[in-house]
Structure 1
Amino acid sequence: MAASGAWLARATATAVLGFVLAVASAEAASGDVEMVFLKAAVAKGAVCLDGSPPVYHFSPGSGSGANNWVVHMEGGGWCRNPDECAVRKGNFRGSSKFMKPLSFSGILGGNQKSNPDFYNWNRVKIRYCDGSSFTGDVEAVDTAKDLRYRGFRVWRAVIDDLLTVRGMSKAQNALLSGCSAGGLAAILHCDRFHDLFPAKTKVKCFSDAGYFFDGKDISGNFYARSIYKSVVNLHGSAKNLPASCTSKPKQSPELCMFPQYVVPTMRTPLFILNAAYDSWQVKNVLAPSPADPKKTWAQCKLDIKSCSASQLTTLQNFRTDFLAALPKTQSVGMFIDSCNAHCQSGSQDTWLADGSPTVNKTVSLMLHQL
């Protein structure tokens, strides 16, 4: 674990008593949360890959949380080429036509016992249907596959609706969060989100399993760079990545999809929750299929109990490299565990299977006093 900043004072006290790290099922909720289709946004080109309208789920705040907001972005990886994006048109990752009502849990949960700091805040979940971590903005339609690359417009349309229609512009506290690709988006859009509020509003960001790092794969190459380069080129993402990163001399835009090159220049406080043996990164950063033509890692990366002694050593070195890539600024707090997991702040439709490890009340306490 690594932590910094006064805002973790209460979490530090909790740590002394022992962290709540447990295998947990989704928190029981009172029912499905309101599902909002932004049909008016279609005219502005703010649409999912298939042209359907953006969607968010909204649970209004009450009592002491009536003027506080937590906005959480759904995860779900990226699509790097038209064929991959076309597949998404047939499910909720690329079309709101396939999105269904859902209940909230984890950091969005309405249970005071397991989510003591945010249970009565205005809680929002932005659905993910663009495949670019909400960074894409290409005006032209891909007529061959009938695709729209407009993730950034989707994000702005939802945020603008929350600000102007739901009253988020009057927030006292606002937290932008996300899991996986949504956790990356929480970092990429953090300062931009902050700038939308009056100076008196306290704004911070939270990234769960979104700290994808620029590490070498088992063949000695940087395979993850090729993933982001394809995403940036296809979705026209460069103009929506943090200028504090892209403006650096000779900086390739795709490198600004890696948090380690973005976070040091951020102006807004950030909290990171990540596994040092992140299961997605082990499979796609450390041992991607192109780097393993003989499939010697096929079993290991799916179940670390199947790893050989040398593979375990490689995994431990991967952890060391990951830790070295973490930020060292005082405005960043973090909780880094050694689980082989991906997204731990609550139930996630995309990544968490039954029995996955979750960090529940601990994270809520760590994010106390925004």
Structure 2
Amino acid sequence: MATTTTNANALLVAITLALLMCSPRCIYSAERRLLVNMTLVRNAPALGAFCLDGSLPAYHLHRGFGAGARNWLLQFEGGGWCNDIESCLERAKSRRGSTRYMTKWEVFSGILSNNAYLNPDFYNWNRVKLRYCDGASFAGDAVFKNGTSLLYFRGQKIWEAIILDLLPKGLGQARKALLSGCSAGGLASFLHCNNFTKYLPSNASVKCLSDAGFFLDERDITSNHTMRYFIKDVVSLQYAWQGIEKNLDENCTASSLDFPELCFFPQYALKFITTPFFILNSAYDVYQFHHILVPSSADPHGHWNRCKLNPAACNPEQLNTLQEFRRDMIVAMGLFYKYSRRGGLFINSCFAHCQSESQDTWFSADSPRVHNKTIAEAVGDWYFSRRITKEIDCPYPCDTTCHNLIPSTQALVQDLRSY
């Protein structure tokens, strides 16, 4: 009997030690996924706030608790842009342009997790995911109709409608708040950061975070401004109907009178953001690599395809081009890095796009690290002013902690609109 008891105790100790050694990853694998239901903004029509197809905008809210009950994290969903009537009409028939086609339940993980082991600084906050359905990073304010087609470019109104819906639910009494977003949603964080503070109490701690939203105004490998022309089309499309340009920072547009659409790019808008800001980005962001630096139009014969799918397959000339792109990104953030006292940075050398919503990259046993710090730790240290957080990784291939999240071959042929 004593032997049986001893063996049982030994087994219990072994299991406990194993869990402790692999935490938080093992805990994550044993956890049930957190699914959060969609909330339609019923009062949106009163503001003229509609998705591209005229459906109601929506968000997902998971309530905070305990010490985080009066803290709020708002996360903009990403999903590319549409830059002409044809692509916007096509988008309106999909989850990118209509809540009718969206999943009604969303998985909350990473920065949206409610597990203290997996999201130690924000797990008990009120966490909101703003669904993206306007095609222009929540920035337009216009309607297009030609007798046969009708499109609502109402991103700005969607933003306002969701905020007004959340204010009486507790956002209006927030003590701490973080406006975040991924990809096109990360760009929305730049565009709406200053405005966000105006809705909240003057004594609230309000900050903003962009994940994979620092899109560069960079020439492609054939020296063409593919991304600049694309963004110009996005802005011109909605500006042509008196929509998007008026919602860009007026100080920025005043300083860029010849090319006001450039204020859609974070590198030009950043210096006009007065709210504390954190930039999370890969120096080799795969979206930018595949669609800004080497778009299909610049590589019609697919010479870069192997390199796109596997960085280890890049030849020396291609690697040099990638290193130049990294340098340009760091230079574009140079003044922010050097002079911003309240800003934060985490620029790693992983081939990835969006790292805050995935548990593996946000905070787990083998998450990407820069100077032995995970993304979650870096963001938390910055938000709570525990220490200065401006981490820039060494160039590829030095970082062995990366999760290289590279799209499939099929995704390589997708364009800027639907990535």
The two structures have a TM-score, normalised by structure 1, of 0.86
CA contact (8 A) 2:48 2:157 kept: yes
Q: Does 1:99 align with 2:106?
A: no
Match in the other structure for 1:320: 327
| 1:194 maps to which of 197, 213, 228 | 197
CA distance in 2, matches of 1:142, 1:308: 50
Partner of residue 39, structure 1:
42
Is the CA contact (8 Å cut-off) linking 1:345 and 1:363 kept in structure 2?
no
State the alpha-carbon separation in 2 of the partners of residues 35 and 154 from structure 1.
Answer: 15
- Between 1 and 2, higher relative CO (CA 8 Å, sep ≥ 6) is seen in 1
Distance 1:215 1:96, change over 3 A: same
Q: Structure 1 residues 211, 143: CA separation in 2 closer, same or farther (over 3 Å shift)?
A: farther
Q: 1:201-220 counterparts in 2 under 5 A? A: 201-220=204-223
Give, as a single letter, the amino acid of the residue that structure 1 aligns with 2:224.
N
Please say which of residues 141-150 and 99-108 is displaced more in the overlay.
141-150
Runs of 4+ in structure 1 off by over 6 angstroms are 24-27
Q: Deviations over 1:105-149 (max 9, x none)?
A: 111100101111111111100000111000011134355433211
More helix by share: 2
Deviation at residue 292 of structure 1 after TM alignment: 2.3
Equivalent AA in structure 2 for residue 172 of structure 1:
R
Answer yes or no: is the 8 Å Cα contact 2:190–2:210 preserved in 1: yes
Q: Tell me the distance in 2 between the aligned counterparts of 1:264 and 1:28.
A: 42
Identity %: 46
Where 2:306 maps in the other structure, the secondary structure is coil
Provide the alpha-carbon RMSD of the alignment: 2.5
Which AA in structure 1 matches 2:272? T
Aligned mates of 2:191, 2:258 — CA distance in 1: 16
Partner residue in 2 for 1:115: 119
Distance 2:279 2:355 in 1: 11
Describe the shift of the 1:61–1:211 C-alpha distance in structure 2 as closer, same or farther (beyond 3 A). Answer: same
Post-superposition offset of 1:34 = 3.0
Greater Cα offset, 307-316 or 266-275: 307-316
| Superposed counterparts of 1:9-88, under 5 Å | 28-29=31-32, 31-88=34-91
d(CA) in 1 for partners of 2:268, 2:381: 24
* 8 A contact 2:24–2:118 mirrored in 1: no
Deviation, structure 1 residue 35: 1.4
Taking a change above 3 Å as real, the CA distance of residues 30 and 250 of structure 1, as seen in their structure-2 partners, is closer
Question: Residue 342 of structure 2 aligns with which residue?
Answer: 331
Cα pair 2:249 2:272 within 8 Å, conserved: no
After superposition, what is the alpha-carbon deviation per residue over 1:207-258, rounded to whole angstroms, capped at 9, x for unaligned?
0000111112101122110111011111231011111211215341221011
Amino acid at match of 1:225: R
Q: Deviations over 1:253-292 (max 9, x none)?
A: 2210111111112110001110000000001111112222
Q: Which runs of 5+ in 2 are unaligned?
A: 1-22, 369-373, 386-419
Aligned to 2:300: 293
Give the AA of the match of 2:178.
L
Query: Structure 1 residues 292-301 or 236-245, which shifts more?
Result: 292-301
Aligned to 1:135: 139
Alignment of 1:238-317 (within 5 A): 238-317=245-324
Structure 1 unaligned segments of length 5 or more: list them. 1-19
Q: Which amino acid aligns with 2:320?
A: T
- Decide which of 144, 148, 153 is 1:149's aligned counterpart: 153
1:331 shift after superposition: 2.7
- Relative to structure 1, the CA distance from residue 292 to residue 27 in structure 2 (aligned partners, 3 Å threshold; closer, same or farther) is farther
1:188: Cα distance to partner? 0.9
Deviations along 1:75-106, one digit per CA (max 9) or x if unpaired, are 00111112211222222111100112112111
* Bigger radius of gyration: 2
Larger deviation, residues 289-298 vs 41-50: 289-298
1:61 partner letter: G
Counterpart for residue 175 of structure 1: 178
Superposition deviation, residue 156 in structure 1: 0.8
CA apart distance, 1:362: 2.7
